[in-house]
Structure 1
Amino acid sequence: MHVNADQESDVETLYGLHRAELRRLLLARVGDPAEAEDLLQELWLRARQRPAGPVENGRAYLFRMAQNLVVDRLRERQRRMARERRWSDQETDFTPTGVEPSDRRETAEDQIIAREQVAALLSAIASLPEGARRAFELHKLDGFSHAEVAQRLGISKSGVEKHMAVAMKYLRRALLD
């Protein structure tokens, strides 16, 4: 957006006249001189980029812009704090402050149990009847659809479904034991 020379000098004049007051307002709202200066600089940039056209009360316009910047900054800070709180809660498993969070990494026992479960599953798959095993491996391990498995094995789609039902029933029974 382009501002012509007259409008630019009006904005510069208004800003120059009220800069000290605007800085005091921003400092009172945020309490940090460095942040107040940052907001004052942002106000200057936004004021210069404002849409063309007359402003009835330039001082009120600048003060409203300053107040809006403070509110925007506060909202952004609240969003950041909520995001960090969610992250912290997830990382600490929602453990209250002052209590040491539990270590959520997998224990050696968990790893041994997982390996045993994988070994049991592989053993159960290997002991499936031949047709059921081939259909199961093609569908579940290789990712082929029932139609593709049927084509590869030279059987009907309902034949694949029957093989899969046998395989799932057998594996369920084997893993429960």
Structure 2
Amino acid sequence: MNNTAHIAQIIKNHDQELRRVMFRRCGCIETAADIVQETYHRMFAGNLWLQAENPRALLHRIAANLATDYDRRRNIRNQYAGDDSAEEVERVSDGIDPEQITVAKQRLDRLVAAVDTLSPKCRTVFVLRKFEDLSHAEIAERLGISRNMVEKHLRNAMQALQQIDDL
């Protein structure tokens, strides 16, 4: 069986199950489809499927990691870019200028948009370093990349995110 046929067979065997699991996890069919698509991209672009003893388990692990990244991004967005809650009203009454809040929200929106434009690997490295406080060595081990690549991804992320201050 050639590589293309083998890849097609892996997708055929596991696609519906993977989509169901991701839908149950994130609650959105479009997001689940995006996660599954990115899962295939990572598995087949890196030729991980050639090394996998159990392609199904690897697909599920990659998808679970992507779903975790999605959850983190969503939680960060919700935490910092929430709606007009009672907490925000309380901050305004504590003497914070509403204009400052608006400017801060706009800056945060630009930051979230900039993080979303990073490549998936770069974004993952950034989140692991800045939000989970993992060391470069821990990130390299977790993602199976070199420490130099971790540093390169962080440098690229910081350059991209620094541009929002320039706006």
Structure with higher Rg: it is 1
Q: Same fold (TM over 0.5)?
A: no
Q: TM-score, normalised by structure 1?
A: 0.40
